[in-house]
Each structure stands twice: as C-alpha cells, then as structure tokens.
Structure 1
Amino acid sequence: MLTDRATVDLPVRRVLPELVGALRDAGSAVLVSPPGTGKTTLVPLALADALTGRIVVAEPRRVAVRAAARRMAALLGEPVGGTVGYTVRGERRVGPTTRVEVVTTGVLVRRLQRDPELPGTAAVVLDEVHERQLDSDLALAFTLDVRAALRPELRLLAASATAQAGRLAALLEPAGGAPVITAPSALHPVDVVWAPPPRPVDAPHGLRVDPRLLDHVADTVRRALRDDDGDVLVFLPGAGEIAAVERRLADPTAPVRVISLHGRQSAERQDEALRAGPERRVVLATAVAESSLTVPGVRVVVDAGLARVPRTDHARGLGALVTVAVSRAGAEQRAGRAGREAPGRVYRCWSAAQHERLPPHAEPEIAIADLTGFALQLACWGTPDGTGLALPDPPPGAPFDLARHTLAALGAIDGDGRVTPRGRQIAAVGAPPRLARALLDGAAATGTRRAAEVVALLAEDVAGGSGGDLVAIWRGLRAGTHPAAARWRAEVRRLAEAAPRDEPDRRGLPDDLAAGLVVGLAYPERLGRVRQPGGRTYLMAGGTAAELPPASALAGATWLAVAAADRPPGRRDAQIRLAAVVDEATAREAGAPLLGTDEEVAWSDEDVVAREVTRLGAIALVDRPLHRPDPTLVAAALLDGLRRTNLALLNWTAGARALRERLAFCRQALGEPWPRVDDEALLDGATRWLGPELAAARRRADLARADVAGALRRLLPWPQAARLDEVAPERLTVPSGSRVRIDYTDPAAPVLAVKVQEAFGWRTAPRIADGRVPVLLHLLSPAGRPVAVTRDLASFWATGYPQVRAELRGRYPRHPWPEDPTTATPTRRAQPRRG
C-alpha cells in the first residue's frame, strides 16, 4: 500500500481510517487539519489505496502543486511522474501509472469545463479551501454540481487548516451536513515572541511599506539568528520588500545564505528554496509559503504582519495591489511553519494588543477581485448568474454586473448572459478574458508569436523596476536577462499553442506598436493621450487621468497603451505601472469599439457650443463646428446654462423681478394653485413657462432678449391670472389719492412706504390677499425718512404719533401735524410759503 511505503509518521495518519470510511459512506467530507499534520501528502495516498481511479488534489498555487507532488513522490521513493504527478498551467508531469495528480484549482476548473464527468477520477481533494480564491470557489461549486447531476460516486474532500467546518460541511451536504474529521495538531509547540518596532512606523499605504518596518524586520532576523537554531522563514508582503530586506541582510562574512521565495520566480528558483542546504538559511517569502508546503529546516518564523491582496476599482476599471494587515488566521498559518519538524518560535513584528484587532480571516477574492473570468466560467458552465450552484458566497451585484458587461463587449456572452462560441474560444485560452481576446485578435496583426509574447508578459506581472516601459521588459525577457524569463518562455509556448492557428506577422509593425496594439486590444479603455505636450499625465479613453512615474523613458509620448495602472489611496490620478507607446492609428485600431462620431451640443465657456466630435472613449480626436444643430439639443444646452447660472442668463428687468415677487407673495399667502417661483421650481419647470423662448433661442444672447415677465405669466392658471392684480396689486391708493407701489421683496411681509400726511384718515392698515395679509406700513417723514414701521395703525396714531408730531412739527412747519390724524385731511403737498 502507498501509505505503508510512506513511512513518515504525521498526526493525520491517526484519522485516515475514519476519513476514508466517511468518504466511502457519505461521498463527501471536511478535513480540518492544522499545518504540519500531513493532510497534503498522506491523505491523497490513503485515498489512492482505498479507491479505484485517480485522486486529483487541487492546490491554490503552482509552487504548492510542485512541492506537494515532489514530497509525495519522495515518500514513495519514486520520481515525479510515476505514482504521483502534477499539472500546472504550461507544465504536465504525469504518466500511465499515475494514481495521484496534483493540480492548481485553475487547471481543475478548466478540466471540469472540458469534461464534467472527470472520467477515471475517483476523488477530488480541494486543499486549503479557506483561502477562498475565485478558482477554489468555482472548483468546489462545479464538483458538487457534478456529484449531484452526473457522478454521485465521485468522492469530494474539502481540506483546510483553518476552515469554518460547520459552514463548509453544510455546503457539501445541505441535507444534514457532510462528516467533519479533525486531525490532531502537529506535535511541536511554537513559542510566540511579540516583537513590535521600538518606534512607531507608518501604516502601509497602497504598495508602500514604511522602510523603518523593513529595518526592524531585518533586525529581528539577526536577533533570531543569534538567539535560535535552525533556518529562519521570513514573511513579507511582496517581491519588492523581499529585495529590500535582502539588501539589509547582505553580509559576506556571515555563514548564512539568504534566499527568496515568491510567485514571480521561476520554478527552479522556487524549488531551490524548498530544499534544505548544508549551511544555515534565511528564506524571505511571500504568502506562497503560508500553506500546502514545508520549507525544510525552518525552526523560526519572522512575520512582518503584512499581506498583499488585489483590489479592483470597478468605477475606473483599474486593478491594484494593496498592502494590508495579515488576518489572525493567516498569522496562525505562518506561525505553524516553525513547528512542522521540531519545536519552534515565531517573532511577530507587532504587539499582542494589535493582534487582537486583526481581522479574523482574510477577505475572500469574490468580494474584492475582478470578476470577469469568474463570470465567464459560470456562463460556460451554463449558470450565468450562479443560480443553483453551491458557491460559498454569491458574487457582489455591481462588480458582477460590470464583469458581465465586459464579457458582452468582448462578444463572449449574449444578451441573456449565455456563453457564445466566441466566449468558449476565449475561455479555452486559459488566460483572463481580456488577455485571451488580445491573443486571439492580436495574432492576425502582429503574428501569433509576438501576440503570445506580449500576453504572457501581461499575465506574469513582471513590471517591477521598469519605469513603466513594457517594450524594455519585453526585450529583457527575450534576451533572457530578466529574472522571469524562463517562466515567461514557458507561458509563451502555451499561449502560442492555444491560439487557433499560427498567424504570421502580416503588418510588419515594429515591436513598440505591436506591443501597444495587443495591450490596447486587452484594455481599450486604457488607451491614453498626453494632456500637455511633453508631459507625464494622460487622459485614458475610460475617462481616468493617469500619470507616468518620474524619469520614465515613456514621458512625452503622445499616445500610450496602458497595461497596468492603479490609483493609490488619496490620489486623484492613477499611476501608470506598465505601458507601451502607440500612435493614433494604432490606438484607433485597438480601441475600435470605443470610436464614435456624435453631434454634441452643450453649455460650455458660458454659451452654447455645437460641434461634431469623433471620440475614442473620453478622448476627443476630431472637433468640427456644427452649423445646424438640433433645436431640441440647443434648448437642452441652454437649460443646462440656466441651471449652472441660477437663471442669470435671463434679463430680469424691474418689471420681471416685481412680477416674480408678487407671485412669490401669492404662493406664501394663499398656497396652491398659486405657483412656486423660487429658483429650484423655475428651473424644474423651465420647459413649461419658458418653452417658446428656449425653442426659439440659438445662443445665450437670444435668451437674454426673452420677455421674462410674459413668460412667468404662463405659470398662472386662468382664474389666478385674472385675479392677480386683485390679490397682489402692484399699487395701493392711499387717502391722499396717490397710488403707491407695494414692495413684495419679502413675500411674508409686503411693504407700503407712505408719508405720514398721506395716511391721515386711515384708521387701520390696508389688507391684501383677499384680506388675509395686512401690509407693513413704513410711515415716512416729509423728507422720506422712516419714522415708524407698523401693521397696527390704530396703536401708532394713539401712542406713537404724538411723539413723532412733537419731534417733527418744528422741523417741517409747512406740513400739517393735526392732533387727530384719523379725522384730518390727507395731503401730499406742503402748505405754500407766506409772502
């Protein structure tokens, strides 16, 4: 038996009979197995012993696939490709006697799409399901669907070190929950040392990590080398931080070898980190070392406490990698690396109090990533919206809708979301949909080989340290001087084979234009034109501004095809990480779906601007005056101008203002059906009261000549129009016979300003609005200065007037000041001077 040949004694061996029995009886099970217990190596061998057929083990990362296969093969004393083999994208090592095949989850998803029955497969083991990558979610949902509809005898095991077992068991078996088997923990304890930086450091910001934290990580590594035995495994968020710490640790006299382990390396470099050496080692690693593999010789872990995760700016169509704090579950996974082979120690570069504030689990990819490939896989499966599939979480609405919109633009799905023949062709490439489209369409223009080379470059994320120059990186990859050259060449071969036919280069495009064309086909909304000649800022077709890094060799190019850009937190513009120079003709070709010519009539520069514009998305290419614009569009533009200027485009004569104030008073005093005439109401109803003037106008000056007062009267229903002068008269006749204008500036308090002598005989203030509102009297001296403000005229005559009379009769002796103004004769003239 295979498990007998693998004589290593690991804790999971104790639960193997229970696990095999559960799978035989229930068909599916959950295995909760902490790091170092042997779930990745012994469990597949045990299943191969118990079941007839191949055991397929799916891992989320390529490095873990190769490591798991080699470890199992070594336990059996065989080379890889015999009893145990593996398949990753672009590489397959299996043979006729292979019983256990380790694959990436992406490979498993594509295999399920090609042949859902998985002929010859007895069981599928989904390892590290807690990582919640998109391919892992799909592999789980598709395999469960196959078990339910096609192959109930297919066994399914979901294995994890930190799984939420109950939720996962219910997903596998909704009726009663799949059996949950828990393996005992690894035998070796791990001491935790809290080692926060001695001085405060800045929190990570986008891709930036405070150099002081990296200094502290290097110091902590030296401390571990001094105080502990064995190799040291150091967790850092990315390849840039690995290189920075490697420089800090450089010491030719130290008997320690510093090596790196991350996803950008070639398979050979990754495998080197997984082999113990004669000298002591410091292994600087990203999250690829968190799970599914053992770095031999490690007794100490130094954890910087950071992780790098993808974020998608769905509004701008930009992806970004951001640095975040590790989750508590991730920190436990990392610490477990120190106790796989012997007692160990973990140095955490944060405090115990900070640890309690960490998120319990990392966010699943479905909540944060671009869902275009995910949506295409669902469409190919025949479930465009995922209905009926046992997905751990449903896709979020807006990002999922955006993904399906992108697929429709690529011709990959139809109006009902079903996959098209074009969509299946894109899916068969085994690359993100945009890149697959660029390969398929770019091959005809650039040749299959060059299209495959550029797409492989985009897929492998090799932009670091390039200043954003994609073609410079391409040349380095071709020459073999770039560190990712070997991995890139393997991907180029795979993509060239995936293309439908070997297209020769029929256009003779130089490399920069060929690269730009392929990039533009993948990301047409990222074609950009420089804003100022010789500058570094570009307007992309999608409407987002993007800036080249300082001293970039691409600065000053008129057009760029931007392959990678992100918008750092707090920045308005995106930052270009990778781009190729193109010309306008190539931009037009690559962005053909975004090309369009429209008649644009809009309010701009304080007037109506009518033009015919050819645009590439948000970029105006050709701009010509439009001599006979559509009158309805002109009216809409003028209406926009009215809104922007709060009606200031109109000529508000004194008469128009007075009428508006009278109407506002009527609305205040009487309510409906008297119309509202505030700015908001007039703008909302402009097409009703100002419609003929808008229809006749062609520019701002035409609107300025409009009869605003006449237009306002259109707001009045007929009965109210007939009564306006009665309800809100322009003038009132005062006792002297004068007709005095009422000031309606304040609709709550209309004012009548009248000289005291002209009001003699009035006992009460006059009323308007059907007698509801008394006017506010401003009683004036003979010189026109206010001496009293009142609505209660009787009270003024009785108490205020005597004092006014006493103060003013000597100053204005020619004007009458009777003792009883209520019976005196009103007058608007002074007495003539005596000769």
Structure 2
Amino acid sequence: QLGTELLSFGADIRLAHMLIKAQQLDATLPGIYILSAYLVALLESRVKHAVDLNLALHSQLIKPHALFKQQLRFWLTRLKLSEVSELNTGYLPLLVALAYPDRLAKKRGNGYLLANGAGAELSEEYWHNDDYLAIANMGGHKGGRIFAAVAFTPNDITEQLSHLFTEQTRCEFDEKAGRFIHQDEIKLGAITVTSQPSKQPLDKSERAKAWLSLFKKHAFKLFNEQAESEQLLIRMCIASKLFPEQFPAITEAALVANNQWLALYLADLKTLEQLKRFNYLTALQSCFNWQQQSALNQLLPLRLTVPSGSNIKIEYQLDGPAKLSVRMQEVYGMTSTPLLAQGKLALLMELLSPARRPLQLTQDLTHFWQTSYRDVQKEMKGRYPKHFWPDNPATSVATSKVKSKM
C-alpha cells in the first residue's frame, strides 16, 4: 500500500516518501506539510538557487522563478494545499532527513562525512561552516559536491527519526598511546555523534575484538617470529591448494579477513607485548579437524628420515619447492630426490659440507651423483680428509660420522 502511494505522487520516490511522512506529522508539527510542498517544488524545478535551502526558499517566496511557480502550482494542486506567504523553515532538516537519511553529514576536515560513509565537499558558494548538514542535492565530479543543503543539529531530528541513531561501545587499541580506547558512542550511520569514556568495564570479548582489529591491520607480522607456527601456516596453505577436496580453503589473506579462529585465544591477553609474544600454533591447528591434521602430517611432514637415520627438518615455502638442508654424507645411497604430497610437491635438496656450509642445490639427486659430484668430491677430500667421500655415492652407505668411527 505504501509503495503504491509513493508511486502515485509522480515524484522522485525519496521525495514522495518525505511528502507522505510530512502529511502524517503535520498535526503535531504544523506547517511541515506545506513546507514539504515548497521544498519538492524547488528541487523538482531544478532552478539555480543558493546552496543553503533556507535562503533558496526565502528567495523564491520573494521573487519566484517561472519554473518554480509552475512546479509549485502543480504540487499545491496535487496535495490540495494553498499558497502561503511565510514558511516555517525550521523543519527543513527533518524533511531532508526523511527523504535522504543517508546524506546526513558531519564536518570532517575540509569536507563532510556522510551517514553512508562517503565523503562530500561544499560548493564554493556556501560560506557557512556548520558542523552538520542535511544534503538534498549533490553531484558533480565523483558525485561528492554539495549543491543543496541545510544546517542542523542531531536534536532537530532525534525525536522523529530515533531509528537512525544507534548506541554502541567502541573498543580499540591505540598503538601510539599503548592503551585501549573504550568509548560509549551514539552513531548516525558512519557518523559519530557523541563519544565518551565507557561506564562499563572492559570485558574479554571487547578486548579480543580490539586485538583482532590489530591483527587485521598487521596480519601475521603482528606476532614475533615463530618458525614452527609460520611453517604450519605455509603447510596448511599448500595442502589447501594441492588438495582442495580434502582440506578447507585456506590462504594467509583469508585467515586475516575471517579471523574468528583466533578470537578465543586472544581474550586473556591484556598488553600489546603479550599479543606480540602470543604463539598462534594451537589456534591455527584448530582450523583443521583431527583427520585433516593427521593427513597434513602424512602429506607434508615436518621432517624427513634420510639414509643416515637422521630426522631432518623440511622447510616449506608458499611458492616453490620445499627445502631439505642436509649434510651430503647423510644421503649417500639415496638414488633419487624424494617428492612430497603424493608427488605433487618437489623437494629441493641443499647438500651441506661437514661444517654445514652449502655445497650444492639440486632437485635431481641422480643427475648430481653422476655429474658435478666429482668436482665436489675432489675439493672436499682435501678440505675434510677425515670424512667419507666415496666414488659411488649412490650405492655407498650414508653416515653422520667421520671415517674413523664408521
């Protein structure tokens, strides 16, 4: 029924909504209905007028433009109203708010912040410096130039449009000040109308939300370096990419954006230093169920047992092969480079000297044994004579010891 009534006016649907509401309010706010008719006539006539709607309407009352007179006659007839010589323009903010609640705006720097979160700037013709504006017409470059508006205070519209205002508690961590900001606020969309220190104590859930906001800003760089957790993150991302049917979709960006997996673990942290030291390993593991964690350890193991019997740590990276840094003597007898993730992920072997200095990088151990190993063997025999440098490494016994103790 309301939709049919709105369309029957033949005006912009927002202005039609304003007219209907003004008619309903006229009994308690005498003069608002006739004012709404004059305002619609002004806006629909599209005549050039002052940015300040108060001035624009008063100038049309004194010396009306022909197009305005034509629109006014139409709307007075349509609404069964009579022409007047004076208008109570004090209701203008409420009328504009009824039509364009998303265009209520608060001063911000040299411009204005709209309730819908967008920014706006004043036409050079507007000389006032009002804290709040109700904007009836805007456009120009990027649609952010204000062409018609009226100043208001929140009290002008609170009684009739209380649903536009919300109360909330804002909690965030100020990194520069090194403390929590805990404020009770009244919001008008994106606009903060009032903000004062909260009367309620800071609870765990609010603190966790503040920490999560910080995490969203800094991502995993927020935390101190922790190799084990970082490697788990990389392994989970690789598993998700290589086996999408087996593991949930996980990327670093997704974990930062959808960060509720972390919330429970941050609630008891009270200082930024505690947050930075926080080990997110357990929280990260919770993103996979038990079966998925078990499969991860099988497909992308933390360590690999080499022929010498040593259990060597694997270093994973998001792009490219995993890397195994191992002393060359420990992989004698290994005839080919191992593959991970059921053959889907290559392993780059960094072969080290007895002093753990890099000697060779290879993804093809067979080829290395047959070719450039000879050059390495010659050099290493002279430098490390106590260690074993066989002529046939592919068939020799691996060792982690010197020759005398083999």
**TM-score, normalisation: structure 2:** 0.72
For 2:142, the equivalent position in structure 1 comes to 571
Query: In the TM superposition, what whole-angstrom CA distance separates every residue of 1:585-640 from its partner, at most 9, and x where no partner exists?
Result: 32435644423323455799899865322123432211134444675566566555
SS in 1 for 2:391: coil
Shift of 1:781: 3.7
The aligned runs of 1:2-401 (5 Å cut-off) are 375-376=4-5
For 2:232, the equivalent position in structure 1 comes to 659
Whole-Å Cα distance in 2 between the matches of residues 687 and 617 of structure 1?
Answer: 25
Contact 1:608 1:700 in 2 (8 A): no
**Residue type at the aligned position of 2:229:** A
Change (3 A) 1:617 1:539: same
**Matched residue pairs, number?**
397
Contact 1:467 1:549 in 2 (8 A): no
**Residue type at the aligned position of 1:539:** L
Change (3 A) 1:528 1:438: farther
Whole-Å Cα distance in 1 between the matches of residues 318 and 65 of structure 2?
Answer: 78
SS in 2 for 1:805: helix
**Residue type at the aligned position of 1:435:** L
Whole-Å Cα distance in 2 between the matches of residues 655 and 694 of structure 1?
Answer: 19
1:611 and 2:195 are equivalent in the alignment: no
Change (3 A) 1:630 1:617: same
- Of 38, 49, 59, which residue of structure 2 is paired with 1:476? 59
Shift of 1:459: 1.5
For 1:438, the equivalent position in structure 2 comes to 22
For 2:251, the equivalent position in structure 1 comes to 678
For 2:360, the equivalent position in structure 1 comes to 788
Whole-Å Cα distance in 2 between the matches of residues 771 and 483 of structure 1?
Answer: 81
Change (3 A) 1:375 1:600: farther
Shift of 1:565: 0.8
Query: In the TM superposition, what whole-angstrom CA distance separates every residue of 1:426-480 from its partner, at most 9, and x where no partner exists?
Result: xxxxx944135335525644x43x86256325414467443313333333344x4
For 1:826, the equivalent position in structure 2 comes to 399
**Residue type at the aligned position of 1:741:** K
For 1:707, the equivalent position in structure 2 comes to 279
For 1:586, the equivalent position in structure 2 comes to 156
The aligned runs of 1:701-740 (5 Å cut-off) are 703-718=275-290, 721=293, 728-735=300-307, 738-740=310-312
For 1:556, the equivalent position in structure 2 comes to 129
Whole-Å Cα distance in 2 between the matches of residues 825 and 596 of structure 1?
Answer: 72
SS in 2 for 1:804: helix
For 1:757, the equivalent position in structure 2 comes to 329
SS in 1 for 2:371: helix
**Residue type at the aligned position of 1:441:** L
Contact 1:451 1:518 in 2 (8 A): no
Whole-Å Cα distance in 2 between the matches of residues 772 and 477 of structure 1?
Answer: 77
SS in 2 for 1:742: strand
Whole-Å Cα distance in 1 between the matches of residues 56 and 344 of structure 2?
Answer: 83
Change (3 A) 1:604 1:492: farther
Identity %: 26
- Of 809, 822, 826, which residue of structure 1 is paired with 2:381? 809
Shift of 1:723: 7.4
For 1:538, the equivalent position in structure 2 comes to 112
SS in 2 for 1:539: strand
Change (3 A) 1:540 1:692: closer
For 2:34, the equivalent position in structure 1 comes to 452
**Residue type at the aligned position of 1:558:** D
SS in 2 for 1:452: helix
Task: Flag structure 2 segments of 5+ consecutive residues without an equivalent.
Answer: none
SS in 1 for 2:372: helix
**Residue type at the aligned position of 2:53:** L
Change (3 A) 1:774 1:443: closer
Shift of 1:642: 4.0
Query: In the TM superposition, what whole-angstrom CA distance separates every residue of 1:513-570 from its partner, at most 9, and x where no partner exists?
Result: 35445544554444433223xx5x33344544443321324x21233333x31323x4
Contact 1:599 1:610 in 2 (8 A): yes
- Of 105, 110, 121, which residue of structure 2 is paired with 1:547? 121
Whole-Å Cα distance in 2 between the matches of residues 670 and 520 of structure 1?
Answer: 53
Task: Flag structure 1 segments of 5+ consecutive residues without an equivalent.
Answer: 1-371, 381-399, 407-430
Structure 1 or 2, whichever has the larger Rg, is 1
Whole-Å Cα distance in 1 between the matches of residues 346 and 60 of structure 2?
Answer: 89
For 1:743, the equivalent position in structure 2 comes to 315
Whole-Å Cα distance in 1 between the matches of residues 252 and 233 of structure 2?
Answer: 11
Shift of 1:573: 0.8
Contact 1:766 1:775 in 2 (8 A): yes
Shift of 1:693: 0.7
Contact 1:665 1:748 in 2 (8 A): no
SS in 2 for 1:712: helix
**Alpha carbon RMSD of aligned pairs, Å?**
4.9
Contact 2:35 2:88 in 1 (8 A): no
Contact 1:456 1:491 in 2 (8 A): no
Whole-Å Cα distance in 2 between the matches of residues 379 and 454 of structure 1?
Answer: 17
Contact 2:216 2:257 in 1 (8 A): no
Query: In the TM superposition, what whole-angstrom CA distance separates every residue of 1:706-740 from its partner, at most 9, and x where no partner exists?
Result: 43222333345445656766665444454556543
**Residue type at the aligned position of 2:351:** L
Change (3 A) 1:468 1:820: closer
SS in 2 for 1:622: strand
Whole-Å Cα distance in 1 between the matches of residues 292 and 257 of structure 2?
Answer: 21
SS in 2 for 1:472: helix
SS in 1 for 2:49: coil
- Of 106, 121, 125, which residue of structure 2 is paired with 1:529? 106
Change (3 A) 1:558 1:829: same
SS in 1 for 2:142: coil
Change (3 A) 1:722 1:583: closer
